[in-house]
Structure 1
Amino acid sequence: MPDYSGQVAVITGGAGGIGGALGKALEAAGAQVLLADREAADGIVACDVANLEEVEALAELAWQRFGRVDLLVNNAGISGGGGRLWKADIAAARRVFEVNFWGVWHGCAAFAPRMAAQDHPSAIYNVASENALFCAVPRSAAYIASKHAVLGLTESLREDLPEHVHAGTIIPGWVLSGLTSEGGRDQAMPAERYAEIILPQLAARERFVVSHAYNVVPMTERTAALEAAFARYAPRYDGDEEHDVRAYIARLRGG
């Protein structure tokens, strides 16, 4: 396992599941860990990630207590707003986005400037889901869309940060947590095992942190369908970058 001695980690959604297990693994690896969750508990700081002021207060606390942050894991998440899309509870669906998407945004907004101002390497990891790559859980449009949004947010964030601050996306498969249904608790991966799998990837500053091998199957089905659509209706040709935004920006920058 990697050595995190002298490093400080902040984890939201740290009362249990992935957040709690990752916190324990990081402490075992030598890190000082600040865990946050919506409700305060023994060793847990209260922070509703849907509230930007509370997340900014969490960042202030981290620097007051430790003087630095080396790893931020925006992990807090909820489910809700399930069912057929047109029958879903809109208020519940909006709450999913408040926590799963805006909670991650708030964490990045509150911590990134401080981490950028440090003179040592650090990393921000945002927890998405296999549901960011394909629809793993049927009739969960709010949850699935929020996790797709986290992936996009993180990819954009990567370009905003200075070189010494890394940003990556954690993509869990089915891991045992408070969101796991009673019937599936013996089928989901134990959170402790999951933490052991991803901790070396965090230390290696991987762009995508992965775990569940079978995720490749449904992910590839989607990418194969996309590639087939392009091959049929928009095949490559010489000079096809003529209408490409990235190519245009590169030309403006003289690249």
Structure 2
Amino acid sequence: MQSFKDKVVVVTGGASGIGKSLARAFLGEGAKVVISDVEQGALDRTASELSAQGGTLRAIVTNVSKPDSVNALADAVFEEFGACHVLCNNAGVSVPNNNVWDTTPNDWQWVLGVNLRGIAHGIQAFVPRMLASGEEGIVMNTSSGDGGISPLADQSVYASSKAGVSIMTECLNAQLVGQNTRLRACIFYPSGGILPTGIWTTKRNRPAELAREKPAPDGAEMTFEEFMSGMKDIGIELPVQDLDELAQFALNGLREGDFVIMIGRESMEETLVERARKLARGQCPIEHGLHG
């Protein structure tokens, strides 16, 4: 897809962070953008901010973990615009770092519900209609290197969900290509440095019925600012990736028809090769230790 002008773009998790930057970038290209988010107040503020730059923008409250909510989003998009050309399944949440045996059932229920099933719901609601339109289209699913490439031991819930996203997207694209459709799917790995997104504070949107069944361990939850300050205190300066630049990179990847959209993706080869070597030797590919 070489041009996004007048294309209809849907971005879930669009009220903040990467989703907001993606929406801004698509608007700048002349697309008609629909942002959705579970957080009404943030969605309203972002809609007001982005509308000021001109173009066509709609904001619809959506809980991607609920199939009916995602179907309602698709209904609204196709009723108003008659099409969806780019679907960005971007909404995501996380839980405190923990040993697997110290996670709780609700940790898994919430994260998998949003990060994995949420993307499945997006595909189920939008792709049949996108196929029926006969128009060119792209489904871009936001995964993470933590899971899709090199999972971190202390982030088992989040990493598991994102590994699932990567595999789901591989299957989806293979099916779309194999059946000679005009749709394609791709994986977006946010990258380039530490990302100042709302993922650090997603507990603000955690449903009461899915609250942790026991308190999080001390120090397991921190804001982006607290994390960066802690790193600085021990002498580590980490690069921070500008989210608007990341969004522009993603749009360029869509234009190029890349299946994997990731800054510095060439570096994943050795990581994955070494992972494969360890697995082939019957070894665990994740290093021992909390941050292995």
Settle same-fold status: TM greater than 0.5. Answer: yes
Contact 1:39 1:45 in 2 (8 A): no
CA 1:202–1:184 in 2, change beyond 3 Å: closer, same or farther? farther
Matches within 5 A, 1:101-116: 101-116=116-131
2:198 is paired with a residue whose SS is: coil
Asked if 1:168 is matched to 2:186, the reply is yes
Corresponding residue for 1:183?
Answer: 226
Aligned length: 228
Secondary structure at the residue paired with 1:78? coil
TM-score by length of 1: 0.83
After superposition, the C-alpha distances for 1:190-224 in whole angstroms (9 at most, x for unaligned) are 2111112111111222111111x28826x623422
Instruction: State the Cα distance separating 1:75 from its structure 2 match.
Output: 0.1
> What TM-score results when the alignment is normalised by the length of structure 2?
0.73
Q: CA deviation at 1:138?
A: 4.6
AA at the equivalent of 1:198: A
Per-residue Cα deviation, 1:29-50 (whole angstroms, up to 9, x for no partner) = 1101000000233233100000
Show the 5 A alignment for 1:81-120.
82-120=97-135
* 2:246 alignment counterpart: 194
Match runs of 1:20-169 below 5 Å: 20-40=20-40, 41-42=43-44, 43=47, 44-80=59-95, 82-131=97-146, 132-135=148-151, 137-161=152-176, 162-169=180-187
Quote the residue 2:232 is aligned against.
none
Which one is further off, 36-45 or 95-104? 36-45
RMSD between aligned residues: 2.1
Residues 116 and 164, structure 1, Cα contact 8 Å, conserved in 2? yes
Secondary structure of 2:199's counterpart equals coil
For the 8 Å contact 2:149–2:271, the answer to whether it is kept is no
**Kindly tell me: are residues 19 and 111 of structure 1, through their superposed partners in 2, closer, same or farther at Cα, counting changes over 3 Å?**
same
SS at match of 1:166: strand
TM superposition shift of 1:228 = 6.1
Match of 1:6 in 2: 6
Q: Do the aligned residues in 1 keep the contact of 2:169 with 2:185 (CA within 8 Å)?
A: yes
Aligned counterparts of 2:244 and 2:258: Cα–Cα separation in 1: 20
Consecutive unaligned residues in structure 2, runs of 5 or more? 48-58, 201-223, 229-237, 283-292
Q: 1:240: which partner in 2? A: none
Cα drift, residue 188 of structure 1: 2.8
Unpaired runs of 5+ residues, structure 1, are: 234-255
Give SS of 1:101's match: helix
CA distance in 1, matches of 2:274, 2:99: 26
Counterpart amino acid of 2:23?
G
SS of the equivalent of 2:72 reads helix
- CA drift of 1:76 comes to 0.2
Using a 3 Å threshold, how does the CA distance of structure 1 residues 229 and 34 change in structure 2: closer, same or farther?
Answer: closer
